[in-house]
Amino acid sequence: MSRRSKKHKHEGHGSSERWLITYSDLITLLLVFFIVMYSMSKVDMEKYAQLSQSLQFSFNKSDSMIPQGGGGSGVIGEVSPKTDDKDKDKDKDNVGVGDKDKTDAMEQAEKAALLLKEQELQDLLQKITKYIDDNNLEATVSAVDTTRGIAVTLKDYFLFDLAKADLKSGAFPVLDKLGSLIPTLNAEISIEGHTDNLPLSSGAAYKDNWRLSSERSLSVLRYFTEQKNLSRDVFQSVAYADTMPIAANDSEANRQKNRRVEIVVLR
């Protein structure tokens, strides 16, 4: 009896020590749990402020509403720092300076192009004037500088027979000279036919002065494009009939001045 009693007492003492081990393990686990929870709950206030500002900006711009309810997990990227207003102003100033430089450069280029073209027109006028003087053509051909450009005027009797639009062979050398000078300029050429105010006779090849002035300007144009092989893109043909006189149609001498073809190298 005494041996059994001692044995039971020994076993009870061992059982009483086991709960201490379990208890200590539990305390350790709880301590680890609270440490982990504490580390997870620590908030970086600076990032929180940036995140709050970013979310507020997004909500203010968006008109849509986020539905309430359960949400899924997600990853919030790093919030970019707010751009300094001074930097924005500096960028705007830099852009403005760049645009102004480009505008100034374009204006200078346009001015240079205009000056170059003006010099070319003056050179053309000098060459034509010299050719007229050297060949004693002052009575039939003239060249002047106008607001529209360099205007070369050829009398109708020098180019055509009365009321006709076929070129005379005597006009070819002058047209050849003009045809050699015109391609050197990057300019448009207007060929304009003019008549006096007298109506054409019933037996004339053309029914009125409009048709006559048109066919005469076209004859000169075709000579340049077909005989001299100049580009058609730079030419235009215009018929004025008697609407643009340079003298009063009150005498034969004045009417003869009005019957003409003008070749205008436009500015």
Whether residue 106 is contained in a domain is answered as no
Which pLDDT score is estimated for 52?
64
Identify whether residues 257 and 168 lie together within a single domain.
yes
Instruction: Look at strands 260-266 and 235-241 and give their pairing.
Output: unpaired
Whether residue 47 is contained in a domain is answered as no
Rounded distance between C-alpha atoms, residue 85 and residue 81, angstroms: 12
**Backbone dihedral angles phi then psi of residue 236, each to the nearest 5 degrees:** -140, 145
Identify whether residues 122 and 234 lie together within a single domain.
yes
Rounded distance between C-alpha atoms, residue 213 and residue 119, angstroms: 32
Whether residue 102 is contained in a domain is answered as no
Which pLDDT score is estimated for 72?
45
Whether residue 85 is contained in a domain is answered as no
DSSP 60-92: HH----PPPS------PPPPPPPPPHHHHHHHH
> Which two three-digit tokens encode residue 58?
């997004």
Residue count of the chain: 267
Rounded distance between C-alpha atoms, residue 98 and residue 212, angstroms: 57
CATH code, 233: 3.30.1330.60
Neighbouring C-beta atoms of residue 133, cutoff 10 Å? 10
Which pLDDT score is estimated for 36?
66
> Which two three-digit tokens encode residue 16?
């009483």
Rounded distance between C-alpha atoms, residue 157 and residue 3, angstroms: 162
Task: Choose among 212, 238, 211: nearest CA to 148.
Answer: 238
Whether residue 83 is contained in a domain is answered as no
Contact, 261 vs 220, CB < 8 A? yes
Identify whether residues 121 and 235 lie together within a single domain.
yes
Whether residue 101 is contained in a domain is answered as no
Percentages of the chain per state (helix, strand, coil), in multiples of 5: 60, 10, 30
* H/E run at residue 142: strand 141-145
Residues 6+ apart with CB under 8 A from 150: 121, 124, 125, 128, 143, 144, 264, 265
Could you tell me how far CA 124 lies from the centroid of its own chain?
A: 32
Rounded distance between C-alpha atoms, residue 251 and residue 231, angstroms: 39
Identify whether residues 140 and 256 lie together within a single domain.
yes
Residues 6+ apart with CB under 8 A from 195: 156, 209, 212, 213, 240, 241, 242, 258, 259
Number of structural domains in the chain: 2
Which pLDDT score is estimated for 75?
44
Whether residue 105 is contained in a domain is answered as no
5 burial via Cβ count (<10 Å: 0-12, 13-18, 19+): exposed
Which pLDDT score is estimated for 28?
80
Find the domain containing 20 and state its range: 1-36
Residue pLDDT tens, the chain, 267 long? 444 444 444 555 555 666 667 777 778 877 777 776 666 655 555 555 665 666 565 555 544 444 444 444 444 444 455 556 666 666 666 656 677 777 888 888 888 888 888 999 999 999 999 999 999 999 999 999 999 999 999 999 999 999 999 999 999 999 999 999 988 788 999 999 999 999 999 889 999 999 999 999 999 999 999 999 999 999 999 999 999 999 999 999 999 999 999 999 999
In three-state secondary structure terms, 145 is: strand
pTM tops 0.85: no
Contact, 216 vs 193, CB < 8 A? yes
